[in-house]
Amino acid sequence: MKVKKEDYVLIAFAIILGTIITIIGVIILRTPPEKTPVHTITQQQQTNGTPVSVYPSTPAQNLPVAYNIQGQDKIIQKVENHPKLTQDDGLAKERLLQLLPTGETGGIIYSSPDFQIEYIKSFDLFQVEVLTINLQQAKNEANVWFRNEGVSQQGICDFPVDFYLSADVAKQLSGLHMVFSPLPNSC
């Protein structure tokens, strides 16, 4: 049987095509699946004034609690452009920062069974971690704590103070389809 020149060309094309298909298959198999991105505040859209979660809503990442977008935006604005504090609130803030561990510029300044307050120096921000499912009670108690330390209600808003749920609390509240506001009372 005599092999023709056309047969060699056809075999060469088959080998090239097989190689290309193999390379594409290897690339596809080695490429990790695309992860669902966590959306930033600026990427979020609001529908009918309803807060939208900053978390992706995929079954694999079904995060337990959504955070109020408007509240997050307010806190971000205050972190980026700190409002001027009154003299009394400025002095109260200085006293609060003296509660930091010796030699530290950030860290936990107060802890209770229901909440924990931490100062984040890099953002000049007080974060309150809610440790109970009684969310409003924890927010009220933290508010009273700041007020007892000499901070005005407006000062609490202007520091700023940011509330978030501990992982355990968020897990306990999963499935309730709730939206949590990170803002302090009356802010």
Strands 107-111 and 66-67: unpaired
**Residues 135-148: tens digit of each pLDDT:** 999 999 999 999 99
Query: What is the number of helices (H) and of strands (E) in the chain?
Result: 6, 6
Mean confidence (pLDDT) of the chain: 79
Flag whether pLDDT at 177 surpasses 90: no
Phi, then psi, of 20 in degrees rounded to 5 = -60, -45
* pLDDT at residue 171 greater than cutoff 90: no
Residue 45: pLDDT band with limits 50, 70, 90: very low
Contact 41, 54 (CB under 8 A): yes
Distance CA 22, CA 27 (A): 9
2-16, 48-62, 166-180: which is most confident:
166-180
Q: Give the confidence band of 43 by pLDDT, cuts at 50, 70, 90.
A: very low
Q: Which position has the higher pLDDT, 170 or 61?
A: 170
Residue 57 has pLDDT above 80, yes or no: no
> Could you give the CA distance from residue 115 to residue 117 in angstroms, rounded to a whole number?
7
Check whether 19 has a pLDDT greater than 90.
no
- pLDDT at 3 exceeding the cut of 80: no
Domains in the chain with CATH codes: 60-180 (3.30.750)
Examine the pLDDT at 32 and tell me if it is beyond 70: no
Share of the chain above pLDDT 70, in %: 74
Select from 27, 154, 30, 145 the least CA-distant residue to 90.
154
